[in-house]
Chains A and B, each alone.
Chain A
Amino acid sequence: MGFAKYQEDNFSRYYAASIVRGREHDPFVAKGGSAEETRDTKKMEDKASKLKDFTVAEARPLPVIVMADVSGSMTVDGKIEALNLALKDMVAGFAAESRLRAEIQVGLITFGGERARVHLPLAPAHKISEVSPLRADGRTPMGAAFEEARKLIEDKDMIPSRAYRPVLVLVSDGLPTDDWEQPLDGLCKSERGQKATRFAMAIGADADVEMLRRFANDPESPVFKAHEARDIHRFFRAVTMSVTSRSRSTAPNSSAPLVLADIPEDDDLDLDF
């Protein structure tokens, strides 16, 4: 009797006649199909969870909320154009990195003219196809922006408690023109706002640096002073690196400081494409 015949004989005698507990992995026990096919099916079954109905389908978010000054003074010296470009690059950078350990989400609140408004509702970076360009005009209602940010950060539907600690970024080139102290305290001392990592950038000599210092809370990342348009880009590149390093980290809740590397005037390589 050959080996194959011997195996068949064993199978018909011992396995086909009764249920053998704890031998589900045994090719003889599995019904139908070849042993290899059964193993593949079993592997697929093992990989598919039976608990999908009870779990959330979205990854844990890492929210980044930018509060951007779009007052009239931002039209001078190409500041608003630089800001638009930097924001676009930041969102693209997040989109490329946003599916590692956490889903990076971006929201943009602007303040200019008479009010603050949500320019870009909080959304996963990889789903943001375009950030419409900001237009600068009018006064600097920064207090209204603080209030808008506080409402967003305290909204547990928008930012669930399973989210990693959010990042707040404030960018301004001037003095607030509305009542800002109370809203700033409201944001910085709110239950969840006080836990956010807050970065700030002062653009030009007219920015209210003292107020921005009160806003920023990361001792390793003091208020960044942008003297020219390209500094805006440097700052947002540092924010992008800080956030993406968190999303790669095994502890995405720990904050990462801004590292403002010197970026030469023309950083691109000389390539023909």
Chain B
Amino acid sequence: MIHATAATVIGPSHEAQGGPNQDALRLRGSQGGWFLAVADGLGSRPLSHVGSRLAVRVAEKCLRQGLFERSPRDAIQDFYRAWLTALPSNDPSSMATTILAASVREDGRCSIVQLGDGLVLYRAGGDFGVLTGDRAGFANETAALGVTRSFGAWQHTSFVLSQPRDGVMLMTDGLADDLVPERLDGFFDRLIGVAAKRSRRNGKRWLARQLRAWPTPLHADDKTVGLIFRADR
């Protein structure tokens, strides 16, 4: 059986300013499967919180089935066009946002796409993997919807969640940049392990608490994480 949980919290810097959480999260279950999307609006763009909210909503419509029924390129193109159409103005760069999305079917088939920073971790057939490549520049420099046109900037992969505790985890850079690279698998297993023992709502509460009490000094960014996993039984 496939389970899922997710949480998002506003970062201390936006909270102090009274600004919105620029991260957006969407987690929806249907027919035994789950769809998860997280997006991080670019801090330097005035309406990026609008872009990120629309991105996760449109992603559910276009990528939930699209990632299985169409080629990644076609599914991504449809999604990108739908996002541009859904924007309230014709200045997409002012609403630039990253997007990470995972669709998992009841039988464990999983498909993931990512544009921009953040991190995608997964375990398939017991083997741990990281979809996201190394960052070339510095913090907060990223490809994004509304800025990047190249299909080459997208990362995508598919696999099957076949064993207990196989799963996929999506997170924004508020967490991703503060994780020790050598301990990503431990982080993944820890969160799946805790979530597996709790109800979805309880898991969400636990995750939100951890994000609010984030241990890295001077952390300021909004934080969002979501996971879909195969339960023990």
Interface residues of chain A, those whose CB is within 8 Å of chain B, are: 22, 46-60, 99-103, 161-166, 191-192, 195, 250-251, 253-254
B216 touches A55 (CB 8 A): yes
The distance in angstroms between the C-alpha atoms of A162 and B134, with both chains bound, is: 11
A253 touches B213 (CB 8 A): no
Interface residues of chain B, those whose CB is within 8 Å of chain A, are: 13-14, 17, 19, 43-44, 134-141, 177-180, 183-184, 186-187, 190, 194, 202, 209-210, 212-220
Q: Given contacts A49-B213, A50-B210, A254-B44, are A161 and B136 in contact (CB under 8 A)?
A: yes
Q: Given contacts A162-B178, A250-B17, A251-B44, are A52 and B215 in contact (CB under 8 A)?
A: yes
B215 touches A55 (CB 8 A): yes
- The residue on B at minimum CB distance from A102 is B218
The distance in angstroms between the C-alpha atoms of A192 and B43, with both chains bound, is: 21
Q: Which residues of B contact A51 (CB under 8 A)?
A: 187, 190, 210, 214-215
The distance in angstroms between the C-alpha atoms of A50 and B214, with both chains bound, is: 9
The distance in angstroms between the C-alpha atoms of A99 and B220, with both chains bound, is: 12
- The residue on B at minimum CB distance from A165 is B138
A195 touches B137 (CB 8 A): yes
B187 touches A192 (CB 8 A): no
Q: Which residues of B contact A56 (CB under 8 A)?
A: 178-180, 216
What's the nearest-Cβ distance from chain B to residue A218, in Å?
A: 16
The distance in angstroms between the C-alpha atoms of A102 and B109, with both chains bound, is: 41
Q: Given contacts A57-B216, A100-B218, are A253 and B141 in contact (CB under 8 A)?
A: yes
Q: Which residues of A contact B220 (CB under 8 A)?
A: 101, 250
Among B136, B137, B139, B178, chain A packs the most CB atoms within 10 A around the CB of B139
Partner of A253, one of B139, B190, B210, B218: B139
Q: Which residues of B contact A100 (CB under 8 A)?
A: 218
The distance in angstroms between the C-alpha atoms of A34 and B213, with both chains bound, is: 25
Q: Which residues of B contact A103 (CB under 8 A)?
A: 217-218
B138 touches A195 (CB 8 A): yes
Q: Which residues of A contact B14 (CB under 8 A)?
A: 250
11 contacts between A and B (CB under 8 A): A49-B213, A51-B190, A53-B186, A54-B186, A54-B187, A55-B179, A58-B216, A165-B141, A191-B136, A192-B136, A253-B140
Q: Which residues of B contact A191 (CB under 8 A)?
A: 136-137
A54 touches B141 (CB 8 A): no
The distance in angstroms between the C-alpha atoms of A100 and B214, with both chains bound, is: 16
Known: A103-B218, A164-B138, A253-B140. 4 other contacts (CB 8 A): A50-B210, A51-B187, A51-B214, A165-B139
A251 touches B139 (CB 8 A): no
B43 touches A60 (CB 8 A): no
Q: Which residues of B contact A162 (CB under 8 A)?
A: 135, 138-139, 177-178
Q: Which residues of B contact A166 (CB under 8 A)?
A: 138
Closest 10 CB pairs of A and B: A59-B218, A54-B187, A162-B177, A161-B135, A253-B140, A49-B213, A59-B217, A49-B215, A250-B13, A52-B215
